[in-house]
């Protein structure tokens, strides 16, 4: 017999765990199950095991609104984040709702039955299992867990050393006294360089172009002081509000005064590395701050590794790998025993699943996003996608709150299907990429696979916490775009 639940959550990472909390708190009359393809919770924080793995935003905003972060360090390492997630799951009894090792492959919606039929494969045995649900809540992240993104490097097969990608880090990799070259200039590379510099002979970060880098302490003295003098939840709420406001203020300045922000950031880098260091070549991007994601380095650890001579930055293009390292376009040769390709992620839509509505496969690239979480003409489906300019969990929390509002509206109105549909006045609105005003290559490579956004609410993905709070919490559920229908009388059924 096929199992049926009111809500099926896909993914037991930071988004899925938050979704579960909100469902059992705000919709206690609904049954739900979480399907997780891996054998543990955590998603990103379970997958990535490379040295130094950590958050690149503060845990007072990356943490949940309902679960205070109480550790001294606000920039936390991977194991500490996993411990926080495990504690959350245990404290709220979420673990009993999770089925591990279930890789979800397809979801088929039937308007006649007002339900999704979801197919998954048990990873351990290959057994195919089927569940049905009245509402599908996708919390599976935005990148492929199978493999990271690696460009085609000429001569790669010639290299006699070891090549690893951070997404598939070997547990037994010995890099003591080894010459390391880390290819990339994103958050992963910035994390790996200082972490590995302590044991490696030398670490070279090889980048095609620079990234904006900002240093911050890994401890928040205001948060730690507040926690000592105020009740924990009060202190956390104040700190979270403070940090959100600072994030939004800084991002806003990059939009209104980009050159001023740029010069401030570069001045700080010069102070860290000295006037003789070539900051223009290695730390001055050609784009404005937050046109791509900025990199946070806690306690100036990257700069310290460079100052101490344990690490260096090379800005150039790869000509070819050879037996002993990498030949650059300039003719320079980088000797290497181990090469780390910190070259990014493969972004995917909705966990690489296939979706069908009444027998027709959904092409999400042909849909419009509804509030950055649902899709035009696709019923009873929400997916979580966080912020590129702030902590992921801020938007994940808002999305879960909205889903619960939506589910309760369905219950209260006796309706079973909710479908975002364009109004006649929306038919010819201008189309924009799902994420615009963001030039990062890992996004631009795949934007053609994602839904479009328009120029008006609710057909937008604003990437603005202030605007999302209003759109998710205050805007009416029945807004003229979300269409609600009842099940025919011959088939009465609770959503």
pLDDT of residue 442: 74
Asked whether the CA dihedral 326, 331, 332, 333 is positive or negative, the reply is: positive
pLDDT digits (tens, 9 = 90+) for 352-409: 999 999 999 999 999 999 999 999 999 999 999 999 889 999 999 999 999 999 999 9
**Cα separation of 82 and 58, whole Å?**
15
CB-hemisphere CA count at 13 Å for 253?
12
Q: Which CATH code is given to the segment(s) 3-145+346-485?
A: 3.50.50.60
Alpha carbon distances (Å) from 175 to 185, 198, 415: 20, 10, 59
Mean pLDDT over 70-82 rounds to 98
The reply to whether CATH 2.60.120.260 applies to domain 156-219+257-341 is: no
pLDDT digits (tens, 9 = 90+) for 176-219: 999 999 999 999 999 999 999 999 999 999 999 999 999 999 99
Q: Which residues contact 212 (CB under 8 A, 6 or more apart)?
A: 262, 265, 283, 285, 289, 292, 294, 295
Domain boundaries, the chain: 3-145+346-485, 156-219+257-341
Residue with more model confidence, 490 or 425? 425
Mean pLDDT over 307-321 rounds to 99
Same fold? 3-145+346-485, 156-219+257-341: yes
> Which tokens is 491 given?
């088939």
pLDDT of residue 489: 64
117 beta partners: 108, 132
In this structure, the chain runs to a length of: 495
If DSSP codes are grouped into helix, strand and coil, which group holds residue 354? strand
The percentage of residues in the chain with a pLDDT greater than 70, rounded to a whole number, is 98
């Amino acid at each position: 017999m096929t199992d049926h639940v009111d809500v099926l959550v896909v993914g037991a990472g930071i988004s899925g765990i938050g979704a579960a909390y909100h469902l059992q708190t705000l919709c206690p009359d609904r049954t739900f199950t979480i399907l997780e393809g891996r054998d543990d919770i955590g998603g990103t924080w379970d997958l990535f095991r490379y040295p130094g793995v950590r958050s690149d935003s503060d845990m007072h905003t990356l943490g949940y609104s309902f679960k205070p972060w109480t550790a001294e360090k606000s920039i936390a390492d991977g194991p500490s984040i996993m411990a926080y997630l495990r504690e959350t799951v245990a404290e709220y009894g979420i673990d009993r709702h999770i089925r591990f090792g279930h890789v979800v492959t397809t979801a088929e919606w039937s308007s006649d039955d007002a339900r999704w039929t979801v197919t998954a494969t048990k990873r351990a045995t290959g057994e195919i299992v089927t569940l049905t649900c009245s509402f599908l809540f996708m919390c599976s992240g935005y990148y492929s867990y199978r493999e990271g993104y690696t460009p085609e490097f000429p001569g790669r097969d010639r290299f006699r050393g070891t090549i690893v990608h951070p997404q598939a880090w070997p547990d037994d990799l010995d890099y003591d006294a080894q010459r390391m070259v880390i290819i990339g200039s994103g958050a992963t590379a910035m994390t790996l360089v200082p972490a590995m510099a302590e044991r490696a002979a030398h670490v070279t970060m090889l980048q095609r172009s620079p990234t904006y880098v900002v240093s911050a302490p890994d401890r928040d003295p205001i948060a730690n002081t507040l926690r000592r003098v105020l009740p924990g939840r009060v202190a956390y709420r104040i700190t979270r509000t403070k940090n959100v406001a600072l994030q939004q203020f800084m991002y806003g300045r990059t939009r209104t005064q980009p050159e001023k922000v740029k010069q401030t950031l570069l001045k700080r880098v010069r102070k860290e590395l000295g006037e003789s260091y070539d900051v223009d070549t290695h730390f001055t991007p050609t784009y404005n701050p937050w046109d791509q994601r900025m990199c946070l380095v806690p306690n100036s650890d990257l700069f310290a590794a460079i100052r101490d001579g344990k690490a260096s930055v090379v800005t150039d293009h790869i000509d070819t790998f050879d037996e002993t390292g990498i030949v650059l376009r300039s003719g320079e040769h980088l000797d290497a025993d181990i090469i780390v390709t910190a070259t990014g992620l493969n972004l995917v839509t909705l966990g690489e699943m296939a979706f069908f509505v009444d027998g027709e496969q959904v092409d999400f690239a042909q849909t419009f996003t509804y509030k950055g979480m649902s899709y035009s003409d696709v019923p009873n489906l929400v997916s979580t996608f966080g912020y590129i300019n702030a902590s992921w969990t801020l938007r994940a929390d808002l999305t879960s709150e909205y889903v619960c509002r939506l589910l309760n509206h369905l219950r209260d109105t006796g309706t079973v299907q909710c479908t975002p549909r364009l109004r006649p006045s929306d038919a010819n609105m201008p189309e924009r990429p799902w994420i615009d005003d963001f030039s990062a290559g890992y996004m631009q490579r795949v934007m053609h696979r994602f839904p479009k956004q328009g120029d008006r609410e609710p057909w937008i993905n604003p990437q603005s916490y202030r605007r999302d709070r209003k759109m998710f919490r205050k805007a009416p559920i029945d807004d003229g775009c979300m269409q609600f229908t009842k099940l025919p009388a011959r088939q009465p059924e609770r959503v």
